[in-house]
Structure 1
Amino acid sequence: MANEAINKKDLNLYENDTIKPIVSFGLITDIHYTDNDDRWNYSETFLRRYRNSLKLVDQACNYWLNAKYPIAFLLQLGDLIDGLCSTDKTSEYDLNLILKQFRNISPIYHIWGNHELYNFTRNELLNGPLCSFDTKDIEPAHYGTIQVCSNLKIIAIDTYELSLLGIEKTSEMYNQAMNFLRKYNQNENVNDPSGLDGYQQRFIQLNGGLTQKQLCWLQEQLTKAESLNEKVIIIGHIPIHPNAGDELALLWNYGDVLNILWEFNNTVLAYIAGHSHEGAYFYDEKEIHHLTLQAIVECEPDTNAFATIHVYKEYLIIQGIGRINTYRIDLLK
């Protein structure tokens, strides 16, 4: 069962369990709020219901606030507001509006997606309500750790540290990202995947990658966790495995990250992301779970997409609501 979704009817086996979770916490991603009419996504396969996302966040918060086991914190995995807010000059107003929907849910740890970087510069994000980690030694990057309980840690990575988004075109990082991208994408518009085959289509502007500095930091954090016999869940906006999302929504240097995670496969339990709106799940060859959560913004009016992770002594239950399935992850491999 460790690598399979749980039938939602069977979830009662866990909900009726007399053993209280050690801790529970929430997951939500790709809300994309903007005060705009519904419109199709870029591939015209799913309708994006921008205003409906406010209602769905409200429903999620009501669920968490009235749950049998209230959540200790919330992980928001990026794209909180849509890039259209920037076009409409409403970014700050819309951000404050969606944040108010979370009411008494606290603390919330935010991951930055591409749409945060369409609306704000990195410096603005570092000095605003979406900065969730101590970035003193890594600015303008945004990554860090969360201690869930004595033997479980979350590592949040910045999947846009190497990126064209949210930074000045004259900056060294912009030039570094552009030079990296131009090795693979020669199109006039670097957000155009034309001529790129398969997973090479990831080399477009809406994705990003990790710098060598962050990769070294990630390895150091996993080495430390291993020495303490801790288990780790890693979170980021962009998926890092080709089988955990679509071809366009994949980290530029996903292989570098996977190689590090696979080195610590007895420590790393899962990688959880957003960005690929249809969602996906894959259990890789090193027994690491890759879960890409479905987007709030593309939910039908009568459904939702959020999850709660319940931590028990020997396993985790990722309890999905609406479009998201429910999974069990064993702590002992």
Structure 2
Amino acid sequence: MPSDSPLIRFGVIADPQYAPLPPNPALNRHFEKSLGKLDEAIGVFNAHDLAFVVTLGDLVDRGYENFDAVLTRYERLTHESILLPGNHDFLVAPEQLPEVHRRLSMPAPYHHFSRNGLRFVVIDGSEESLFAALEGDPRRARAEARLAALEAAGSLNAQTWNGGIGEAQFAWLSGVLVDAAAAGEKVVVLGHYPLYPDNAHNLWDWQALVDLFDRSGNVLAYLCGHNHIGNLGHHGSTWYVNFTGMVDTETENTFAIAEIFPDRLEITGFGREESRALPFDI
């Protein structure tokens, strides 16, 4: 019989991508409208009992100065705000790249925390990319080599606007999953880039992470943005939920409240975000 008491309840926003720019009709992106959409979402969140609100990247479309307008909106949020960057958040002047994670008040580019018997893990999918590391940085060189290999292999996600994680981060993530299992904690992983199913927006090393989650057996869900039309997949014992992008459309908003129960993940969608009930099998 389904449990009626959630272990945790939290808000989800993906891809506000604000900038004081004219709309992009080809992509149906309305950058300036995102401030009003954030105000609406935060008003809804403030009316609910939530543990936190997570924003899954791309707070801005470009420009370090545009973080000010977005983050001012978050000051009205009465809950803890957990932010992580997407690819667009790194479209800033080169000297400002090292400041992006600090501007989002992150304790580290990748980190984890425990709440109500659950382990939440924030990964950094832009660690090795063509936009988050400066010329001359070894991470940039590795990204260029990785993208060239993916292009040679004809991979769907061989795109300059995707990224990947480094070996040290992958080892760290593996260790966190082992530690969570030892502590009896189920895991929810948060990132910007999708992992599953195969898609042009996926993290470069998506298959390695899907395989890791399968082996670990304790990852309930992976939550992400980046692919603005959204997506849903299930592999092994993990749900892969790609939330729709707030910046898309002139008037329709999109955000969600997620509730994790012992036996399921329930997503209450607002606007364009679909409501779902996703049963766990672990």
Normalising by structure 1, we get a TM-score of 0.78
Correspondence 1:56-95 to 2 at 5 A? 56-67=37-48, 70-83=49-62, 86=63, 91-92=64-65, 94-95=66-67
Letter paired with 1:127: R
What do the CA deviations read for 1:2-33 (whole angstroms, capped 9, x no partner)? 9xxxxxxxxxxx9xxxx564432111010011
Instruction: Please give the alpha-carbon distance, in whole angstroms, between the structure 1 residues aligned to 2:249 and 2:123.
Output: 26
CA shift for structure 1 position 330: 4.0
Choose which of 207, 211, 221 in structure 2 pairs with 1:255.
207
Tell me, what secondary structure is at the counterpart of 1:242?
A: coil
In the alignment, what sits opposite 1:50? 31
Q: Cα distance 1:106–1:66, how it changes in 2: closer, same or farther (>3 A)?
A: closer
Match of 2:21 in 1: 36
Do the aligned partners of 2:197 and 2:232 also contact (CA within 8 Å) in 1? no
State the one-letter code of the partner of 2:258: I
Q: Could you tell me how far 1:242 is from its partner in structure 2?
A: 2.9
Q: Aligned-pair distance for 1:328?
A: 2.5
> How far, CA to CA, are the matches of 2:132 and 2:206 in structure 1?
21
Kindly provide the amino acid, as one letter, of the partner of residue 293 in structure 1: F
In 2, the alpha carbon distance for the partners of 1:231 and 1:318 equals 18
Q: Which residue of 2 aligns with 1:131?
A: 105
Partner of 1:112: 85
Q: Structure 1: how far apart are the matches of 2:239 and 2:262?
A: 18
Mapped to 2, the partners of 1:311 and 1:278 lie a distance apart of 23
Contact 2:87 2:126 in 1 (8 A): yes
Alpha-carbon deviation of 1:147?
1.5
The within-5 A match list for 1:103-182 is 103-119=76-92, 121-128=96-103, 130-133=104-107, 135=108, 142-149=109-116, 151-182=117-148
Task: Give 1:165-314 correspondences, 5 Å limit.
Answer: 165-185=131-151, 197=154, 200-243=155-198, 247-265=199-217, 267-284=218-235, 286-301=236-251, 303-314=252-263
Which runs of 5 or more residues in structure 1 are unaligned? 3-13, 136-141, 187-195
**Corresponding letter in the other structure for 1:250:** N
Post-superposition offset of 1:332: 5.7
Q: TM-score by structure 2 length? A: 0.91
Q: Deviations over 1:202-225 (max 9, x none)?
A: 122210011111111111011111
Percent of aligned pairs sharing the same letter: 25
Paired residues, what number?
Answer: 279
Q: Tell me the SS of whatever aligns to 2:139.
A: helix
Supply the distance in 1 between the matched residues of 2:122 and 2:156 (Cα, whole angstroms).
Answer: 25
2:12 and 2:257 in contact (8 A); partners too: yes
- Partner of 2:91: helix, strand, or coil? helix
**How big is the shift at 1:127?**
3.2
User: 2:123 is aligned with what amino acid?
Assistant: I
Q: Which runs of 4+ in 1 moved over 6 A?
A: none
Query: Any stretches of 5+ residues in structure 2 without a counterpart?
Result: none
Take 1:132 and 1:168, find their aligned partners in 2: how far apart are those partners?
A: 20
**Whole-angstrom distance in 2 between the partners of 1:218 and 1:209:** 13
What letter matches 2:87 in structure 1? N
> Matched residue of 1:225: which SS?
helix
The one-letter code sitting in structure 2 at the alignment partner of 1:114 is N
SS in structure 1 at match of 2:214: helix
Superposed CA deviations along residues 159-201 of structure 1, whole A, max 9, x for unmatched, are 0111121222111211121122222337xxxxxxxxx85xx13
Q: Which structure has the greater CA radius of gyration?
A: 1
Q: CA deviation at 1:268?
A: 0.7
1:328 pairs, out of 254, 263, 277, with 277
- Deviation of the 1:146 alpha carbon: 2.3
- CA shift, 1:331, in A, is 5.2
Alpha-carbon distance between aligned partners in 1 of 2:280 and 2:237, rounded to the nearest angstrom: 11
Partner deviation per Cα, 1:68-107 (whole Å, 9 max, x = no partner): xx22211111000102xx3xxxx32x21111111213442
Q: Letter of the aligned partner of 1:25 in structure 2? A: F
